[in-house]
Structure formats: structure tokens, C-alpha cells
A and B are shown apart, each in its own frame.
Chain A
């Protein structure tokens, strides 16, 4: 019955209806919004493919990466977009899986036809996707903090301009730890790549400061209880450097507390362990007085700049670094600023290259490589940074915070020089 009516409706299309339709279409075409899109390609939106961890182990990070990206996108578009063109973000879930990650990069390139791909966090997804990005000559801006891009083992199309890499972060901690916390250090780390990075970069860095790693205790990734490892910690240990990650971190801290009681060595850790976890959670009391690396402070600091406040308001986090209106929804503050800053770097590079479309991707790569520094301000609220175009990696300031009353208070901010190291290669020698 319904089909019949529809058919009869179509058949009854007469001259008047047709004219009305034409008039309406013409009206639409004349509307200001439409004209911009329908004229030349130059005013069509710039499409950015966002490879997001919506599911899988990276989901907590992925959600906040999306929020931060949306907030930056809104501001960029309100200020006229990139090269006067609006920017559109197309998001695909990579399941925090390297195989799916590579597929998603292919999808962005050939189905969504995005101009670039952006936003990946987990190292294995970056490394799994990088070959595809290189083959498709798709500029790939990651926000991962891994050392993979800077190692120059990826390819000319991979960049990390919005967040420092783990090697830089780790070595910049050494001078302060040696001077303020202790020189005899025991490292406890997960026995996979993330832990190995800390082991391999921190050990020589602290030695250069006159300190020493007196024990390295790798914890197998399948472990869910840690008590049996603690007797391996030498008695003369002054600092325990810990970077456990994942759900087991709460058990780790609790058991460490039970092992030491009130008479413990100093503790130093990376906030990666507790991203998206409330520091005041029950069981974490043992961390009171211990120190953490933070990329960008989770808690609003008394001396925060206007740019930091504006950034936090735009993303929607309160003074404790949790979602406005939901104090339990703690953000991944130490990393997610990288999405914001990377988008502004992309804007700067595209405008520098006079980017018009995918045919200008080579120019965009060269324009990004030509960048040297980013000034602190609304576009780079975490702080000023330098950029090494040969290794496609930025360098910036790091924060060291102490846990006080269940909150993190910044006690030291490293200089950019603290995190510099000798480049391991040069991407610019590769063909475009």
C-alpha cells in the first residue's frame, strides 16, 4: 500500500512541482554556507583523519584525545580555519590494534580522502600504521610520546610535533632526581617496550649525573601481584623509580605500601601509571609525598597562565583535572594537550606550505620540517617548544610534581635543554 502511494506521488510530479523544486535548489545554492562549498575546491573543508583509540586498551586515553581535539577544532574553525578553509575531523576507531590501525590509515587515504592523518597514541599502533602512511604518502602526525618517530626508523611522512618523546622525558628527569631525591636508584618497570625505554634511557642519564641504578626489576606483563619482587629491592636504595601501567598499578602501590609501611625510600614515577585515575583513590595514600613526571599538570596550578586556563576551559576540565560536572571522570592531562598543540602545528605548516589539497602533501612535509620553534601561548599552552625537522620531533619542558593532600603540585619545570639528545638519523635525506 505504502509503496503504491509513493509511486503515485512520483508519477504525479508536474511542471509546478518541478519548478518549485528547482527554485528551492537555486535558493539553497545561493545560501552563504552552500556557496562556499560548491564553488572551488579551495574553499572545501580540509579533512583530517583522526585515528582514535575508541575501543581496546587505549580507550580511556582515546576518549580524552577526542575531547581535546574537538575543543581545538572548534577554536580553529571559529578563527577562520586553515588557509581560510574550514577544518573537518573524520574519526575512525583503530581498536588500539596495529593491524586495524594500518587499515584505518588506508581508509582515510582512499575512502574518506582526508588530507592528513592525526592523533595516534599507542606506540604499537603508530609503528603498525607508519608503513601504510609512508606508502600512501599520507602525512601522519602522531601524539604518542614514543621514541619511534625520533628514532628515524619510521619514514618521512611521520611526525610528532606536539608532544615530547619518552627518551627526552626520561633523560630530563635525571638531573633533578640526582640533586633532590637520591642517587642510588632501583627501577621497577613492566617487562615490555615501554618499561625497556625507561630502563635504557634513564640508566645512562642518571649515571651522567653521578647517580647509579643499583637494581633493575622487570615485572612480567602477566603479573597481577608484586610482593614477591620487592625483596629484590636493595636495602641501600634511596629512590624507587616505578613506571607500572595498566589496571595492576593500584595493586602494585598497595602492596608496596604493605611491604614498606611508613619507612619507605623516596618514590619517583611517571604519571602514565595513573592517567585517568584519581590520585586520591583509596589505596593510593602510600603515594603521598612521592614525585611524578607530568607532561602538563593535571591540577590547575596557582601560577597557571591565561592560555592554560583558556585551554582547560575549552576542553572542559575542572581545577582537579576531571571533567567539568563529573569529578570521577579524570582526564589524561599529561598527554592530551598534544592533540591540541599538534592541530595548531598542522595549521601552521599547512599555511606555510600554501596547502591546497593532497597534491601538496610533499610541500606540507617540507613545511613541517622547516618549523623550528613554537611559542608558548593559546596555541601551545603546555609551553614553548623547539622542533627538529630532521628527526620530526619536538622538544619541550617537563613538569615534576609532588603528591600533596591527594593532589599533584608542580615543584620543578625542566628546561628544554635538559631533554635534548643527539639525533639518530635524518628523515630529510629520504625521498618524498
Chain B
């Protein structure tokens, strides 16, 4: 059954998720409140990845560069040029858009395994550039954004991004916008073409669609969303460093999306949340927590091969987008 069959249910579900997250701001204990703010930002990263991997079927191993483009785009302009938060955020997104456009044009000349390798190589170049320009980036050490700079003044309204509730709401606002945008994309004609490309690119092209243009649009949208997450991370949590450009941060969104359910709009949130708490809880008991994480992942693959929400959709709630 296609998602278009129950639009009302779909909108209600997404509105409910946003409403629950809003309500949690007032209910969660301090620690989990902070965790959820961070998880929402990282879930945006995963949602960006999901557009390309889940819906378009393009497996990138280089998305850390888009997240980092946002991170550095925002961080460097705020730190070195003294830009405000809003301008810094816009700079982060613009950096991601430009990078995604260039990388998309080059990398989309390849498919499959070659696409994975090319994206990984570009991400590695990006990572090395963050080290090379250490004079500004402070390389692997990174730099902090001063606490007093992380505020937005709109007339008489003052938002202090270091305040936990403001930060949570900022993260929720970004998450909600991206979630609804993802939903709109998925339900749009463009979204259906992406799924068609994933399922059979040759046939889609034969039907008269410009698959390259559609895929390029997907790379750019995906890059912009990931950059938005990176920019938000820099501004909300105050740290910018090349660790976020390493290959580990290209693998993580893949893992979060696979766990939550590829090509499900809410899967990235579920996957990111699940992974965070598995690490957080198990590391409290043993330093071999990565072993437990590994076993958990194997069990998930065995029993939820399509990820948590992917399997839920397959077995129970067929209308889940």
C-alpha cells in the first residue's frame, strides 16, 4: 500500500510525534532532556542521510563532510568573522549546499560500490583539509564558540542557546521543519521518482525521467539537511572539531538509518535514539560495551532486517511513510 492512501493518519502521526517531543521538554529529567536535544540534532543528520540512502538508494560513505561543512561553515564565520547565530547558521547551510552540488556532479558519474568509494574519498579530502587549515580550524583539537556569542537577539527578544530549554526548543524546531520537509519530499512527485530510481533506474530513465537531475537534487537536499544539523550542532553545543569529519561520522548516520528503518520518515529518530541509549546504558556496566552494541546490532539485523520502523511497517502498520 502506498503512503498516499492514508494522508490523514500520516499527518496526525507526525504531528503527534512533534507534540510528544514538545511535551517532553517540560517532563524529562535534566539529563534526558539534554540528551534528547542532542539526539534530535543528530537525527536531523540521519534524516538527511535517509533521503539519499533510504529513498534514492545511493549509499554514501562520505556524509560526514556535509555535516562538517555545516559545522565549520557556522563555526568559522561565528568565531573568526564575528557573525551572529542566524548568519552563521545560514553560512553553514550554504556551505553544505555548495559542497553537495559539487560533490553530487562529480560523484554521480559513478554508481554502486564506486559511488561509496568516491564519496568516502571526498570526505577524506575534506577531513584532511580541516587539518591542513589548522591555523583557522585548530585541526583535530578544534575550537569552542564562546558562551556569550551563542545568543540570538531579535528586538526585545533574547534567545540564549546555552540555556537548556532554549536549546531543546531550537533543536525541536529544526527537527520538526526537517521532518515535515522530508515527509513532503517523500510524498511529492520528486520523492516518488527517487524511489523509482532506487528500485530500477533504467526503467525510470526509459519512462522519460531525468534520473541524473533527480539524483543530483537528492544529493543537494541531503547535503543541505546534514549541513543544517552540523551548523546547529556547532551553535547549540559550542564545539567545532575535525573529529566530526572522520569516517566514523559517515558510518554513524548509515547505522542510525539502518537501525531505525531506511526509507521511513521517523526511522532516523528511532535509530539515533536507540543507538544513543544502548551506548549510554551499556558503557555504564562494562568497557566492552562496543561488543554489546555489536551483538544488539546483529540481533536487530536478524529479527528486524528492515530496521525497527521498516519491520513495523512491513508486518503491522502498512501506511507508515
| Chain A residues at the B interface, C-beta cutoff of 8 Å | 54-55, 92-93, 95, 97-100, 102-103, 106-107, 109-111, 123-124, 127-128, 130-132, 134-135, 146, 148, 153-155, 191-194, 196, 220-222
Asked if residues B283 and A124 are in contact (CB atoms below 8 Å), the reply is: no
Binds A, one of B1-9, B127-135, B202-210, B213-221: B127-135
Top 6 A-B pairs ranked by shortest CB distance? A131-B238, A110-B30, A193-B141, A110-B31, A111-B31, A54-B287
Give the size range of B's interface with the partner: 20 to 34
Binds A, one of B54-62, B100-108, B239-247, B302-310: B239-247
Asked if residues B31 and A124 are in contact (CB atoms below 8 Å), the reply is: no
B228-267: CB near A (< 8 Å → 1, else 0) gives: 0000000001110101100000000000000000000000
Selected A-B contacts with CB under 8 Å, 21 pairs: A54-B287, A55-B287, A98-B239, A99-B244, A106-B31, A106-B34, A110-B31, A124-B142, A127-B138, A127-B142, A127-B144, A127-B239, A131-B144, A135-B238, A148-B141, A153-B144, A155-B147, A192-B141, A193-B138, A220-B128, A221-B140
* Complex interface: chain A residues within 8 A of B140 (CB): 123-124, 192-194, 221
In the complex, B29 has a CB within 8 A of chain A: yes
* Complex interface: chain A residues within 8 A of B143 (CB): 127, 153
* Complex interface: chain B residues within 8 A of A92 (CB): 283-284
Residue with the highest number of chain A CB atoms closer than 10 Å, among B140, B145, B237? B140
Asked if residues A93 and B31 are in contact (CB atoms below 8 Å), the reply is: no
B127-163: CB near A (< 8 Å → 1, else 0) gives: 0100110100011111111010000000000000010
Residue with the highest number of chain A CB atoms closer than 10 Å, among B38, B141, B237, B280? B141
Q: Give the Cβ gap from A362 to chain B, nearest Cβ, in Å.
A: 16
Out of B128, B131, B132, B239, name the residue touching A131 (CB < 8 Å). Answer: B239
> CB within 8 Å of A: which of B272-317?
279-280, 283-284, 287, 289-290
Asked if residues A131 and B283 are in contact (CB atoms below 8 Å), the reply is: no
Which chain B residue has the least Cβ–Cβ distance from A105? Answer: B34
* Complex interface: chain A residues within 8 A of B35 (CB): 103, 106
* Complex interface: chain B residues within 8 A of A154 (CB): 144
* Complex interface: chain B residues within 8 A of A221 (CB): 128, 131, 140
Asked if residues B147 and A93 are in contact (CB atoms below 8 Å), the reply is: no
Q: Give the Cβ gap from B243 to chain A, nearest Cβ, in Å.
A: 5
Asked if residues B238 and A124 are in contact (CB atoms below 8 Å), the reply is: no
Bound state CA distance, A34 and B241, in angstroms? 47
* Complex interface: chain A residues within 8 A of B144 (CB): 127, 130-131, 153-154
A106-B35, A111-B31, A124-B140 known; A131-B241 Cβ under 8 A: no
Q: Give the Cβ gap from A165 to chain B, nearest Cβ, in Å.
A: 13
Q: Given known contacts A131-B145, A191-B131, A192-B140, what 20 new A-B pairs fall within 8 Å (CB)?
A: A92-B283, A93-B283, A98-B142, A100-B279, A106-B31, A109-B31, A110-B30, A111-B31, A124-B142, A127-B143, A127-B241, A128-B243, A130-B239, A131-B144, A131-B238, A134-B147, A135-B147, A153-B143, A193-B141, A194-B140
Bound state CA distance, A106 and B284, in angstroms? 14
* Complex interface: chain B residues within 8 A of A98 (CB): 142, 239, 241, 243
Out of A93, A111, A131, A193, name the residue touching B139 (CB < 8 Å). Answer: A193
Q: Give the Cβ gap from A19 to chain B, nearest Cβ, in Å.
A: 37
Asked if residues A196 and B142 are in contact (CB atoms below 8 Å), the reply is: no
Asked if residues B141 and A123 are in contact (CB atoms below 8 Å), the reply is: yes
Asked if residues B31 and A128 are in contact (CB atoms below 8 Å), the reply is: no
Out of B162, B241, B280, name the residue touching A124 (CB < 8 Å). Answer: B241
Q: Give the Cβ gap from B169 to chain A, nearest Cβ, in Å.
A: 16
* Complex interface: chain A residues within 8 A of B239 (CB): 98, 102, 127-128, 130-131
Q: Give the Cβ gap from A144 to chain B, nearest Cβ, in Å.
A: 10
Bound state CA distance, A153 and B142, in angstroms? 11
Which chain A residue has the least Cβ–Cβ distance from B130? Answer: A192
Out of B128, B162, B241, B283, name the residue touching A128 (CB < 8 Å). Answer: B241
* Complex interface: chain A residues within 8 A of B283 (CB): 92-93, 95
Which chain B residue has the least Cβ–Cβ distance from A90? Answer: B284
Residue with the highest number of chain A CB atoms closer than 10 Å, among B144, B237, B290? B144
Which chain A residue has the least Cβ–Cβ distance from B145? Answer: A131
Q: Give the Cβ gap from A95 to chain B, nearest Cβ, in Å.
A: 8
Asked if residues B141 and A93 are in contact (CB atoms below 8 Å), the reply is: no
Which chain A residue has the least Cβ–Cβ distance from B141? Answer: A193
Asked if residues B147 and A196 are in contact (CB atoms below 8 Å), the reply is: no
Bound state CA distance, A100 and B35, in angstroms? 11
Bound state CA distance, A153 and B38, in angstroms? 23
Bound state CA distance, A221 and B131, in angstroms? 9
* Complex interface: chain A residues within 8 A of B128 (CB): 220-222
Q: Give the Cβ gap from A218 to chain B, nearest Cβ, in Å.
A: 9
Bound state CA distance, A93 and B292, in angstroms? 15
* Complex interface: chain B residues within 8 A of A193 (CB): 134, 138-141
Q: Give the Cβ gap from B251 to chain A, nearest Cβ, in Å.
A: 13
Bound state CA distance, A249 and B139, in angstroms? 21
* Complex interface: chain B residues within 8 A of A155 (CB): 147
* Complex interface: chain B residues within 8 A of A148 (CB): 141
Asked if residues A55 and B290 are in contact (CB atoms below 8 Å), the reply is: yes
* Complex interface: chain B residues within 8 A of A134 (CB): 147
Asked if residues A124 and B38 are in contact (CB atoms below 8 Å), the reply is: no
* Complex interface: chain A residues within 8 A of B287 (CB): 54-55, 93
* Complex interface: chain A residues within 8 A of B237 (CB): 102, 131-132
Asked if residues A196 and B139 are in contact (CB atoms below 8 Å), the reply is: yes
Q: Give the Cβ gap from A421 to chain B, nearest Cβ, in Å.
A: 19
Out of A107, A110, A192, name the residue touching B134 (CB < 8 Å). Answer: A192
Bound state CA distance, A99 and B132, in angstroms? 22
Q: Give the Cβ gap from B103 to chain A, nearest Cβ, in Å.
A: 20
Bound state CA distance, A402 and B279, in angstroms? 44
Q: Give the Cβ gap from A106 to chain B, nearest Cβ, in Å.
A: 5
Q: Give the Cβ gap from B80 to chain A, nearest Cβ, in Å.
A: 13
* Complex interface: chain B residues within 8 A of A146 (CB): 141
Bound state CA distance, A99 and B162, in angstroms? 16
Out of A106, A110, A128, name the residue touching B142 (CB < 8 Å). Answer: A128
Q: Give the Cβ gap from A104 to chain B, nearest Cβ, in Å.
A: 9
